[in-house]
Chain A
Amino acid sequence: MDAVASFVAQLLNGLAGASSLFLVAAGLSLIFGVTRIVNFAHGSFYMVGIYAAYSAVAWIGEGPGYWAGLVLAAVAVGVLGALIEILLLRRIYHAPELFQLLATFALVLVIKDAALWLWGPEELLGPRAPGLRGSVPILGRQFPSYDLFLIVVGPLVLGLLWLLLTRTRFGTLVRAATQDREMVGALGVNQAWLFTAVFALGAMLAGLGGALQLPREPANLELDLATIGAAFVVVVVGGMGSIPGAYVAALLIAELKAICIWLGVVEIAGVSISFSKLTLVVEFLVMAVVLVVRPWGLMGRPQAPSRNAGAAEAPLRAPDRLAKAAIAAVVLALFALPALSSQSPYVVILTIDILVAVLFAASLHFIMGPGGMHSFGHAAYFGLGAYGAAILLRATGAPMEIALIAAPLIAAVGALVFGWFCVRLSGVYLAMLTLAFAQIAWAIVYQWDAFTGGSNGLTGVWPSAWFSDKRAYYALTLALVLAGVFVLRRILYAPFGYAMRAVRDSTLRADAIGIDVKRVQWVAFVIGGLVAGLAGALFAFSKGSISPETLHVAKSVDGLVMVLLGGVQTLAGPVVGATLFTWLHDSVARSTEYWRAMLGGIILILVLLFPQGVAGFVRQVVYGRREAKGGS
Chain B
Amino acid sequence: MTARKPLLVASGLSKSFGGVKAVDGIDFTLAAGELLALIGPNGAGKSTTFNLVNGQLVADTGSIRFGGREMVGMKPRDIWRMGVGRTFQIAATFASLTVVENVQMALVSADDRLYSMWRRAADYRRSDALDLLDLVGMAGQADRPCSVLAYGDVKRVELAIALANQPKLLLMDEPTAGMAPRERNDLMALTKSLVVERGIAVLFTEHSMDVVFAYADRIIVLARGRLIAEGAPQTIRDHPDVQQVYFGSGKTFEKAAAAKGTA
Contacts and interface: CB of A to CB of B under 8 A. Distances in A.
B97 A494 contact: no
A505 interface: yes
B221 to A, nearest CB: 26
A536 B115 CA distance: 26
Given A506-B95, A509-B161, 11 more contacts: A314-B96, A314-B145, A491-B118, A494-B116, A498-B101, A498-B104, A498-B108, A501-B94, A513-B80, A516-B114, A631-B147
The residue in B97, B101, B105, B148 that gathers the most chain A C-beta atoms within 10 A of its C-beta is B105
A565 B55 CA distance: 41
Contacts of B95: 312-313, 505-506
A514 interface: yes
A491 B117 CA distance: 5
The residue in B76, B88, B98, B108 that gathers the most chain A C-beta atoms within 10 A of its C-beta is B108
Given A312-B147, A313-B95, A502-B97, A496 B81 contact: no
Contacts of B117: 490-491, 494-496
Nearest to B150: A631
A509 B88 contact: yes
Contacts of B4: none
Given A314-B145, A493-B122, A512-B54, A501 B96 contact: yes
Contacts of A496: 114-117
Contacts of A501: 94, 96-97
B121 interface: yes
Given A490-B118, A495-B113, A496-B117, A514 B98 contact: no
A495 B126 CA distance: 13
Contacts of B196: none
B77 A511 contact: yes
B124 interface: yes
Contacts of B119: 494-495
B109 interface: yes
12 contacts: A315-B97, A315-B98, A315-B145, A495-B115, A496-B115, A496-B117, A504-B96, A509-B92, A509-B93, A512-B85, A513-B77, A627-B145
The 7 closest A-B pairs by CB, nearest first: A312-B147, A509-B92, A313-B96, A505-B94, A312-B95, A514-B80, A495-B116
A443 to B, nearest CB: 34
B237 to A, nearest CB: 32
B254 to A, nearest CB: 33
Contacts of A312: 95-96, 145, 147
A316 B145 CA distance: 10
B118 A494 contact: yes
A495 B121 contact: yes
A557 to B, nearest CB: 26
A491 B120 CA distance: 9
B106 interface: yes
Contacts, number: 119
A194 interface: no
Contacts of A506: 92-95
B109 A514 contact: yes
B165 interface: yes
A113 B158 CA distance: 53
Interface string B139-166: 0000001011110000000000100110
B184 interface: no
By size class, the interface of chain B is: 35 or more
A515 B77 contact: yes
Contacts of B54: 512
B130 to A, nearest CB: 16
Given A513-B80, A513-B164, A493 B93 contact: no
A216 B87 CA distance: 60
Contacts of B124: 495
B97 A515 contact: no
The secondary-structure label for the interface of chain A is: helix
A508 B76 CA distance: 10
A515 B161 contact: no
The residue in A508, A510, A513 that gathers the most chain B C-beta atoms within 10 A of its C-beta is A513
Nearest to B151: A631
Nearest to B119: A494
B114 A495 contact: yes
Interface string A474-516: 0000000000000000110111111101101110111111111
Contact of A520 (B86, B88, B114, B164): B114
B97 A514 contact: no
Interface in B212-227: none
B209 interface: no
Nearest to A516: B77
B88 A508 contact: yes
A497 B85 CA distance: 23
Contacts of B149: 631
Given A523-B115, A631-B147, A511 B76 contact: yes
A516 B97 CA distance: 18
Contact of A513 (B105, B113, B148): B105
Nearest to B171: A512
The residue in B81, B94, B113, B161 that gathers the most chain A C-beta atoms within 10 A of its C-beta is B94
B243 to A, nearest CB: 35
A295 B191 CA distance: 40
B60 to A, nearest CB: 22
A593 B94 CA distance: 48
A512 B81 CA distance: 9
B110 interface: yes
Interface string A51-73: 00000000000000000000000
A557 B164 CA distance: 42
A73 B97 CA distance: 52
Contacts of B76: 511-512
Contacts of A502: 94, 97, 105
B203 to A, nearest CB: 14
A513 B105 CA distance: 8
Interface string A360-401: 000000000000000000000000000000000000000000
A314 B146 CA distance: 9
Given A491-B117, A631-B148, A512 B86 contact: yes
B94 A497 contact: no
B10 to A, nearest CB: 19
Contact of B121 (A497, A515, A630): A497
A495 B108 contact: yes
Nearest to A569: B96
A502 B92 CA distance: 11
Interface in B58-75: none
Given A490-B118, A495-B114, A513 B161 contact: yes
Nearest to B110: A514
Contacts of A318: 122
A176 B101 CA distance: 40
A148 to B, nearest CB: 42
A448 B69 CA distance: 55
Interface string A308-324: 00001111101000000
A629 interface: yes
Contacts of B122: 318, 493
Contacts of B85: 512
Nearest to B158: A509
A312 B161 CA distance: 20
A318 B123 CA distance: 12
A515 B115 CA distance: 10
A501 B104 CA distance: 13
A630 B101 CA distance: 19
B120 A493 contact: yes
